[in-house]
Structure 1
Amino acid sequence: MNTRPWQAWAEQLATGVAQVGADLRVRWLNPALAELLGSGMRSAVGQPLALWLASPGDLAQARRALDEARFVQLREATLSTLDERTLEADIGMQPDGEGGLLVEVHALAERSRRVSPLSATLRGFAHEVKNPLAGLRGAAQLLQRRVDGAELQALTGLIIDEADRLTALANQLLHHGGAAQLGAVNIHQLLDRLSELLQAEPAPPRLRHDFDPSLPDVRGDAGRLQQVLLNLARNAVEAGARTLTLRTRAEHGARAGARVLRSALRVDVVDDGPGVSAELRDTLFEPLVSGRADGTGLGLALSREIAREHGGELRCSSRPGETVFSLYLPLEREHE
């Protein structure tokens, strides 16, 4: 293949550039991208783009750019390198005028170095709560030794388990950049646990379950996902809801930021409260925004951050008498 003028120019760039054909296989790439991917320039030619893009949703976006002859931007996409690393990058894809695509890759700094202001705030908060949690756990253990009856024993056990979970969350925020501890998670087990916690409240809401039992496990951090569900449910109760519906469904083509999830698990927390006020709807997930005078405004901001670190999203729709918070989590494997 003859060298095109733009290829000679792109070879001098520090930004990664590739040309892929209509079959989404690499025709050409510049030295910067070859180095980024841990590949020789010649050996990379002919490789499928699917070998680099870790998310099937991102690959679908590449096909969309090709089929619709339009520019597509992927934000914080995950790339798999040939030396078995992963990295994050912003990727632009546009038609090359020859039936293929030009792909421009801007590598991002490591996630551990790109700490959001919210995460920094939460680490400070985590440091402050560890001592009270230890005291709470110790008091619950003393109570458990002194009380009789299965019901009281179960309640003190619940306090101990929750103190342990929150301590683990605090430790994750304080160490290793707050990285999530990923594993197989049965979302219905988390929802059953949520129901137990809500029923232990002084004035528990009525609960309705509408589960799809055929849904598979998701890959995630069980403790953090439990915290999201607890935040959503308690927000609803504190806002005046008397009935909560916990619903699970599979959904195809759900959008998570710039990505489209081929297959997602959706968890809805539906309440019959007064709804989200109009003045809060545009800023609902921002830190320090709360509809209650005694609210911290961190719960929903943290919940959305956790959803996004799992490759998913958190959304809300609301009207008086029905507010729905929907948590989307990808079902497809990280690498297919």
Structure 2
Amino acid sequence: MDEADWRAWAEQATTGLALVDAQLRLAWLNPALAEVLDLGPRRAIGQPLAALLGEPAVATQAARARAEQRTVQWRDLRLGAPERRLDVSLQPLDAGCLLLEVHVLAPPVAENSPVSASLRGLAHEVKNPLAGLRGAAQLLQRRVGEADLKALAGMVIAEADRLAVLADRLLCPTAAPPCESLNLHAVLERVVALLEAEPVPLAIRQDYDPSLPELRGDADRLQQLLLNLARNAREAGARHLILRTRAEHGVRVGERVLRTALRLDVIDDGAGVPLSVRDTLFEPLVSGRAEGSGLGLALAREIAHEHGGELRHAGVAGATTFTLWLPLEHG
């Protein structure tokens, strides 16, 4: 990767990156690091690194990196108010310059948190390869000439961004998910594009009601719900999938009756749900397949509940139906 390509990738990276000159002043930094330092990139250029990080040991670490020609790092550096916790490394480059890399650590999580330390660690580590994946896809998108290849590269970028958001939610489980006006058909079309790009795509028929209004929700979470349903269908041997949307009135969801609801049916021709697990289908760790994790449908129902809706199962082998109900009332 030449310097121009590296800069293009680094500008989009979610990891904080900077070039530090021989006098330990910032010569360049990416937007991710500017956000960590709470400074505009122009204001940060030329600033002493030790002052920005509030760490007097910077000079010592930099001298070690240069003398030993290896990357040096220090863990759990505390910065600013409110306090942020960082892992920082310095890598020696030519002419006494250094590459600074900064990772923001998640805030401490209560001991009774359902998210384990190992899972948080995975979420933290996965963000680096995701940034590399996104940067590589961006370079491909700029270099290829065919529209189809550009669209596939764009799909990789969008999925890398979605995974980065999911990782952030694991790192900060108390953060409220975004809620915005969205068109469910647009979400469905993204799901269809992803499924059609897979090595053995499902044959998909879309049966949409174009008069449906927008609803409020989190597009990424709804996309995850729909992908889980579609991939469950494929793993059950389905070859065909029907996506059907309608508006219905007076739908009971839990203790509520929705005056107007959006109904989405996901219908497949797979082997169906085994009778032995139908009553516990949406519970975590319940699966009808020996190799299944039993998490996909539990997560799908959780997402439906987050949106004030419900996910239900009906049908038999060859015509399995999962129905998602979502409220259309605003306010």
Alignment-derived partner of residue 323 in structure 1: 320
Match of 2:150 in 1: 153
Are 2:295 and 1:292 aligned? no
| 1:79-115 per-position Cα deviation (integer Å, ceiling 9, x unaligned) | xxxxxxxxxxxxxxxxxxxxxxxxxxxxxxxxx99x9
Q: Which residue of 1 aligns with 2:133?
A: 136
Q: Is it true that 1:203 corresponds to 2:203 in the alignment? A: no
RMSD of aligned alpha carbons: 2.7
Aligned to 1:276: 273
Aligned length: 222
**1:148: Cα distance to partner?**
4.3
- 1:322 and 1:276 map into 2 onto residues whose CA distance is 10
State the Cα deviation string for residues 159-194 of structure 1 (Å, max 9, x = none).
111111121233234336142200101011111111
Correspondence 1:311 to 2:305? no
**Which of these residues, 223, 226, 239, is aligned with residue 236 of structure 2?**
239
- Cα distance in structure 2, aligned partners of 1:170 and 1:135: 15
| Alignment correspondent of 2:162 | 165
1:154 shift after superposition: 1.6
CA drift at 1:329 = 0.7
Q: Corresponding residue for 1:258? A: 255
Cα offset, 1:333, TM superposition: 1.7
**Partners of 1:187 and 1:150 in 2: CA distance:** 25
Alpha-carbon distance change, 181 to 198 in structure 1, aligned in 2, over 3 angstroms: same
Which of 246, 252, 256 is the aligned partner of 1:249? 246
Deviation of 1:152 (Å): 1.9
> Which ranges of structure 1 fall in alignment gaps of 5 or more residues?
1-111
The CA distance in 2 between the partners of 1:131 and 1:145, in whole Å, is 22
Q: Is the 8 A contact 2:182 2:215 kept in 1?
A: yes
| Whole-Å separation in 2 of the counterparts to 1:251 and 1:262 | 8
Q: C-alpha separation between the residues in 1 aligned to 2:241 and 2:296?
A: 18
Indicate yes or no: 2:224 matched with 1:227: yes
**Unpaired stretches in structure 2, ≥5 consecutive residues:** 1-108
Closer, same or farther in 2 for the Cα pair 1:256/1:124, shift >3 Å? farther
Match among 329, 332, 336 for residue 329 of structure 2: 332
What letter matches 1:188 in structure 2?
H
TM-score of the superposition, structure 2-length normalised? 0.61
Assess if the C-alpha contact under 8 Å between 1:288 and 1:298 holds in 2. yes
In structure 2, distance between residues paired with 1:117 and 1:257: 25
2:298 corresponds, among 296, 301, 314, to: 301
Q: How far apart, CA to CA, are the structure 1 residues paired with 2:199 and 2:208? A: 26
Rounded Cα–Cα distance in structure 1 between residues aligned with 2:265 and 2:301: 14
Displacement of 1:325 after TM fit?
A: 0.8
Partner of 1:214: 211
What secondary structure sits across from 2:212 in the alignment? coil
Which structure ranks higher in relative contact order (CA pairs < 8 Å, sequence separation ≥ 6)? 1
* Distance in structure 2 (CA, Å) of the matches to 1:257 and 1:215: 23
Are residues 204 and 132 of structure 1, via their aligned partners in 2, closer, same or farther at CA, if it must alter by over 3 Å? Answer: same
Q: Would the aligned equivalents of 1:185 and 1:217 in 2 still touch at CA under 8 Å? A: yes
CA contact (8 A) 1:118 1:302 kept: no
Secondary structure of 1:270's match?
strand
Is the 1:253–1:261 Cα contact (8 Å) retained in structure 2?
yes
Q: Cα deviations across residues 112-169 of structure 1 (Å, max 9, x unaligned)?
A: 99x9848999767644643443343244335445544222222122111111112123
TM-score (normalizing by structure 1): 0.60
Q: Give aligned-pair identity as a percent.
A: 67
Cα distance change on mapping 1:152 and 1:276 into 2, 3 Å:
same
- Per-residue Cα deviation, 1:271-304 (whole angstroms, up to 9, x for no partner): 0111101112112111122233333222111111
2:115–2:170 contact (8 Å) kept in structure 1 = no
Q: 1:116 to 1:274 in 2, by over 3 A?
A: farther
